[in-house]
């Protein structure tokens, strides 16, 4: 029972951040099952990455790191090797391959925002399995720091290459250059984060401005991706027919704006229509088959 509680506690941060990440795709949300699948692939790839990291630790400077454990403080050279090569390079390369090989060629990957969503999902899957290992080794208390900091840090690293990958998919100008810069940049940011923590000195506090800068970059990427999204204007409010005057009424309205009759959404479900082109919608429709607009049942303001 205690082990189950530890696993649930280790999963909780990843699931919470994944829920927030899914909400990033405002105009054309990805299928939930694809996002979850990418999350699970992120967990799977954590296993070969851990093996690769162990091999790197057992050779070269990594061997010196292991020999020094418990005997003398690690040198900055050893810390840098462990942070930038063992962790930063291998982990970001593994997460990148998950997205590039599993979802990049999918027809669902069709806008720049998707690069942010899927890279973050893969990162959270990796971080979740990592959390399970830490929680099993050091107890659930470790999640008090790993949940809000390290777990989200994985997202901040991966979107550095995830967004250029999304731009590349939509043939955005100079996207190839951004991708070539983004992947090494993510590895460097990841390595710097770990390096600062591994020093176990006041330098560790520098992860706060580092994460702040990466978070600011994420906000800029989100804004840019929404601005260039081809689905930005393809959103329409669902409409129903007024039972009294048959006027088109927004789904969320309680009364008809023409005759004042109370709106009964259940009775007139068959009369649902797209607020953009007026085409009739089937029960449970999410997109209009006539104009391709995403159908929403709440008031929508063009962004």
> Rounded to an integer, what distance in angstroms lies between the CA atom of residue 150 and that of residue 13?
10
pLDDT at 65: 52
pLDDT digits (tens), the chain, 303 positions = 567 767 777 788 889 999 999 999 888 889 999 999 999 999 999 999 999 998 888 865 555 555 555 555 667 888 899 999 999 999 999 999 999 999 999 999 999 999 999 999 999 999 999 988 888 777 777 777 777 889 999 999 999 999 999 999 999 999 999 999 999 999 999 999 999 998 888 889 999 999 999 999 999 999 999 999 988 877 778 888 787 787 888 887 888 888 877 876 665 445 688 887 778 887 777 788 777 787 887 776 654
pLDDT at 60: 56
> Rounded to an integer, what distance in angstroms lies between the CA atom of residue 185 and that of residue 198?
20
> Rounded to an integer, what distance in angstroms lies between the CA atom of residue 135 and that of residue 133?
6
**Domain residue ranges in the chain:** 2-227, 234-303
> Rounded to an integer, what distance in angstroms lies between the CA atom of residue 68 and that of residue 72?
5
Burial of 96 by CB count in 10 Å (0-12 exposed, 13-18 middle, 19+ buried)?
buried
pLDDT at 249: 83
Tell me the chain's radius of gyration from C-alpha atoms: 24
Q: What is the pTM of this model?
A: 0.82
- Asked if residues 251 and 276 have their Cβ atoms less than 8 Å apart, the reply is no
Q: Which of 296, 298, 257, 246 is nearest to 276 (CA)?
A: 296
pLDDT at 189: 97
């Amino acid at each position: 029972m205690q082990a189950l509680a530890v696993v649930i506690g280790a999963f909780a941060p990843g699931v919470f951040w994944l829920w927030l990440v899914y909400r990033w795709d405002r105009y054309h949300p990805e299928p939930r099952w694809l996002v979850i699948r990418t999350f699970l692939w992120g967990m799977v790839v954590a296993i070969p990455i851990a093996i690769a990291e162990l091999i790197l630790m057992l050779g070269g400077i990594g061997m010196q790191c292991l020999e020094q454990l418990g005997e003398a403080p690690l040198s900055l050279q050893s810390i840098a090797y462990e942070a930038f090569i063992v962790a930063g390079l291998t982990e970001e390369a593994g997460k990148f391959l998950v997205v590039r090989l599993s979802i990049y060629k999918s027809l669902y990957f069709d806008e720049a925002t998707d690069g942010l969503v899927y890279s973050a999902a893969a990162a959270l899957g990796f971080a979740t399995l990592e959390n399970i290992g830490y929680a099993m080794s050091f107890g659930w208390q470790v999640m008090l720091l790993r949940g809000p900091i390290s777990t989200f840090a994985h997202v901040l690293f991966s979107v550095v290459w995830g967004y250029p990958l999304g731009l590349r998919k939509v043939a955005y100008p100079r996207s190839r250059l951004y991708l070539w810069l983004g992947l090494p940049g993510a590895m460097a940011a990841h390595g710097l984060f770990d390096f600062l923590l591994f020093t176990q000195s006041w330098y560790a506090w520098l992860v706060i401005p580092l994460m702040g800068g990466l978070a600011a970059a994420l906000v800029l990427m989100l804004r840019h991706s929404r601005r260039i999204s081809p689905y930005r204007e393809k959103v329409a409010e669902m409409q129903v027919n007024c039972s009294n005057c048959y006027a088109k009424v927004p789904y969320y309205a309680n009364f008809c704006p023409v005759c004042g009759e109370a709106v009964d959404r259940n009775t007139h479900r068959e009369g649902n229509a797209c607020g953009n082109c007026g085409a009739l919608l089937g029960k449970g429709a999410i997109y209009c088959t006539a104009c391709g607009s995403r159908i929403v049942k709440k008031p929508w303001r063009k962004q």
